Structures are given as C-alpha cells and as structure tokens.
Chain A
Amino acid sequence: EVRLVESGGGLVQPGGSLRLSCAVSGFTFRSYAMSWVRQAPGKGLQWVSSISGSGDRTYFADSVKGRCTISRDNSKNTLYLQMNSLSAEDSAIYYCAKGFGETYSPYFYYMDVWGKGSTVTVSS
C-alpha cells in the first residue's frame, strides 16, 4: 500500500521557519517526482513546489520562491519542505503528493497519491 505521512507542522511566529517532512512507503521513492500542495483554511488548492525523482531539479510557485527549499533523501524515503520568512498567508494544510513519473513536466504532471496533510499556522 502506498503511504505518504506528513509531519513537522505547527504554530510558528511571523518571520519564523519550519521544516515539513513526508515519509513515504509502498513504492520506489526515487523513481517518482514529488510535490507539496497547500490549502489555506476554507480555500482551494495551491501548488507550492515539486522535485524530480533524483532530486536534481526543483520548482517553486512564485509565492514561495526564495523562501522555500524542497529536498529529498532517497535513502530515507523522505521528502522535505523548508519554509522561511513565514507570514500569515502561509497558514495552510500542506499536502505531500506523489507525481505520476520520475520527472516533473508541468504540461502533463499530475499527482496520483496524496498524504493526509500537516497543518501550519503562522501567528503571534
């Protein structure tokens, strides 16, 4: 069974940092691109970032570019999202999602398995 389990969310002050993790099992992790998608309270889905299966290519939404780093440890079957300079607008449920193939091509890319999400709240 394919499983994605996010962790690392919580309450953080404005301007602070947080690292989310996503532990996966049930598939060959290194063979698939991975993504982070967030959902603010009562709002829709927003793509945040993606990374290729090998980890050598990363992609970011304009809203987080320069503030976030996506990475993966294929030996630990774990995906990460490091978020810095957080503001209230970053408060959301952050979902880890598995891509359908090894590469991320935005023209065709979709996410076929999702984790349950980790909640990030930015507030003083």
Chain B
Amino acid sequence: QSMLTQPPSVSGAPGQRVTISCTGSNSNIGAGYDVHWYQQLPGTAPKLLIYASNSRPSGVPDRFSGSRSGTSASLAITGLQAEDEAHYYCQSYGGGLSVVFGGGTELTVL
C-alpha cells in the first residue's frame, strides 16, 4: 500500500508563512493522482481545505494554497493566525482500491 509522509509538526509566528509537505511515491502523487488536504481543529471533525491539489472549497480563505511537484505536495498558509492552529492531513491514492492519509502535521502558532 502506498504511503504519504508528513512532518509531525511545524510552527510559525503570527503573520508568517508556513508550508507543510506531503511526500508520496510514483504510485500516488508521482503518478499524477489527486492530493487533498484537511484541517482538523482541536476536538473537532476534519474539514476539507484543499482538493485536487490546489482548489479551495467555498469559504476557505485564500491564505491557504496547495501545490505539487514530482512525488510531493505542499500546503502553504500565509498570514498565519492563531485560529490556524490545528492538525493538517494530506490524502491521495493508496493503492488497489484504497485512499490513504498522511500521518498528519500539527501546526503551532507561536
């Protein structure tokens, strides 16, 4: 089964820009399959943040953006705010007929 690897944690000061990486393989991201991102605020359910690598659902601020290159994808957050403190998960094709999530990244706003 294909895997997605994320850094366990990232941090940044208010107003700064942070990026969260999601490293896959030639079996998922590198093969061109879509990457999606979810935000999970403390104690709440996940929320779709970015779909199809770089598209935002309505209501998601344009401070959030996605990109991809080769076997990796990235989530960028600009103008960091305290309310952005959360766990972030990437998701893509997992092999066979499955989807897979990355291990998640905890964002701390300093």
B-contacting residues of A (Cβ < 8 Å)? 37, 44-47, 50, 59, 61-62, 95, 97, 100, 106-117
Contact = CB atoms under 8 A, between A and B. Distances in A.
A12 B10 CA distance: 37
Interface in B60-105: 87, 89, 91, 93-94, 96-104
Contacts of A108: 33-34, 52
B98 A47 contact: yes
A45 B36 contact: no
A110 B61 CA distance: 19
25 contacts: A37-B101, A44-B101, A44-B104, A45-B46, A46-B101, A47-B91, A47-B94, A47-B98, A50-B99, A62-B1, A95-B46, A100-B51, A106-B96, A106-B97, A106-B98, A106-B99, A108-B52, A110-B34, A110-B52, A111-B46, A111-B48, A112-B48, A114-B46, A116-B44, A117-B45
Contact of A59 (B1, B51, B91, B98): B98
B33 A107 contact: yes
B57 interface: yes
A111 B1 CA distance: 20
Which bracket fits the contact residues of B? 20 to 34
Nearest to B31: A107
Nearest to B40: A45
A37 B89 CA distance: 13
A109 B51 CA distance: 9
A46 B1 CA distance: 13
Given A107-B34, A109-B99, A114 B45 contact: yes
A45 B57 contact: no
Given A46-B101, A62-B98, A110-B36, 6 more contacts: A37-B46, A47-B99, A106-B93, A106-B94, A107-B34, A111-B38
Contacts of B33: 107-108
Contact of B93 (A44, A61, A107, A112): A107
